[in-house]
Amino acid sequence: MPETITPLAVSAYTVTSALGYGLADHRRALEAARGGLRPNDFSEAPLACWIGRVDGVEEAPLPAALAAWECRNNRLAWLGLQQDGFLAQAEAAIARYGAARIALVLGTSTASIGATEEGYRRLHDGRMPAELERPAIHMPHSLTAFVADALGLQGPALTVSTACSSSAKVFASAERLIRLGLVDAALVGGVDTLCGSVLFGFNSLELVSPERCRPFDRARRGLSLGEAAGFALLERAEAAPQAPRLLGYGEASDAHHMSTPHPEGLGAELALRDALARAGLDAAQVDYINLHGTASQKNDEVEAALIGRIFPASTRASSTKGYTGHTLGAAGIVEAAFALLALEHGFVPGNLGGDEPDPTCGPQFAWQHERRDVRIALSNSFGFGGNNACLAFGKAAA
């Protein structure tokens, strides 16, 4: 078992998704049980499904100085950075610590591959159209390189791309760099945008639901894809005594299958126990778990069983994919933000879409919105290739 870590302050965080721009929009939608999914109006070719699309990205070009980075994913990243005063807090941290003493660790599954897809639709003599002949936006590092450039960061800069656990694992990488003293703070997060690769890719695996996704419902038919941007600023606890805390994290591998979870949730359980051990917590101390809950047959069955065998009924659990859709590489940061909102505002989001609960779901499931004190909240994120992560957050020590 790993040693407990010294908690870090989450001194700022923000999220932008189909539910809106910034934390207030998200909190309102979660409290009103109002989902953000709509019939697919995104893909070039028709595909009958529902998506979590962010409004307004088309009307929000990057500032002229950043135009070399222009593409939907970087636009969404830039929109996301403007919310909740996050950019100003990041700039204040740069002024406080120095640009070389802040790490940038971002997660993404497909980065700006939408721009690559667009180029292929408009090839000239086998070459990208001139305005897309920008190598940097066709690389999976596009997002991180853009944010580093936009903020003038000069420290370590890393993209984590482990499919749907990407922007959960960034917290782990950042904590290690701070613990070793290589940096004083870290800007973490993730951005993924809707694109043909994921819509038709998940469709090819028969994992896309033709209706709104219904996590943990007995009649669930697969996932709804979404897009989102989220960011958090991590610092040592003394820098922000009142801020919520990153208490721990866990990472583990299924060693089972590329696109199907381990049937007993072995990697997911190892990641969860790793997170509890680093946080120095017993399972019974956990008030809320934001579940991975994609609404795929297999994920929800395995995850429901995991929750049932580890947690008492006093631990509340729900998936929020019914609100945002599955935002893939951004899901980790989106759901970390939901766990932090739960801590700060004292509520448990209801599991939207679970109208007829699957019989594997135990008494831990919160089917409706609940007002209650949340002191400790976890967030699960599991990805293709059997890549599992779990984050543990808590209120600032009284």
- Please list the active-site residues: 164, 292, 326
Nearer to another protein, 200 or 367 (CB): 200
Q: Which of residues 255-314 bind another protein (CB under 8 A)?
A: 255-259, 266-267, 270
Question: Taking contact as CB under 8 A, which single stretch among the options 60-68, 202-210, 223-231, 342-350 is the one that binds another protein?
Answer: 202-210
Q: State yes or no: residue 213 binds another protein (CB under 8 A).
A: no
Kindly state the helix (H) or strand (E) to which residue 316 belongs, with its residue range: strand 316-319
Q: Which of 24, 67, 205, 284 binds another protein (CB under 8 A)?
A: 205
Q: Which of residues 87-116 bind another protein (CB under 8 A)?
A: 99-100, 104, 109, 113, 116
Nearer to another protein, 105 or 317 (CB): 105
Q: Which of residues 27-46 bind another protein (CB under 8 A)?
A: 43-45
Which amino acid makes up residue 104?
L
Q: Which of 82, 346, 367, 384 binds another protein (CB under 8 A)?
A: 384
Supply the minimum distance, in Å, between the C-beta of residue 354 and another protein: 27
Nearer to another protein, 169 or 316 (CB): 169
Nearer to another protein, 172 or 304 (CB): 172
Q: Which residues contact 126 (CB under 8 A, 6 or more apart)?
A: none
Question: Taking contact as CB under 8 A, which single stretch among the options 55-63, 69-77, 136-144, 309-317 is the one that binds another protein?
Answer: 136-144
Which residue from 224, 192, 219, 155 is spatially nearest to 331, judged by alpha carbons?
192
Nearer to another protein, 44 or 55 (CB): 44
Which residue from 371, 392, 178 is spatially nearest to 281, judged by alpha carbons?
392
Q: Give the Cα separation of 224 and 307 in Å (integer).
A: 23
Buried b (16+ CB within 10 A) or exposed e, 279-288: bebebeebbb
Q: Give the Cα separation of 188 and 235 in Å (integer).
A: 11
Classify burial at 375, counting beta carbons within 10 Å of its beta carbon; exposed 0-12, middle 13-18, buried 19 or more.
Answer: middle
CA torsion through residues 359, 313, 351, 368, sign: positive
Encoded one letter per residue, x for contact with another protein by CB under 8 A and - for no contact, window 146-185 reads --xx---xxxxxxxxxxx-----x--xx-xxx-xxxx---
Q: Which of residues 181-200 bind another protein (CB under 8 A)?
A: 181-182, 196-197, 200
Tokens of residue 81, six digits: 């950075």
Q: How far is CA 338 from the centre of its chain?
A: 10
Nearer to another protein, 65 or 258 (CB): 258
Supply the minimum distance, in Å, between the C-beta of residue 188 and another protein: 13
Q: Which of 12, 128, 330, 366 binds another protein (CB under 8 A)?
A: 128
> Residues in contact with another protein, total (CB under 8 A)?
77
Q: Give the Cα separation of 186 and 90 in Å (integer).
A: 9
Inter-residue contact 21 to 2 (CB < 8 Å): no
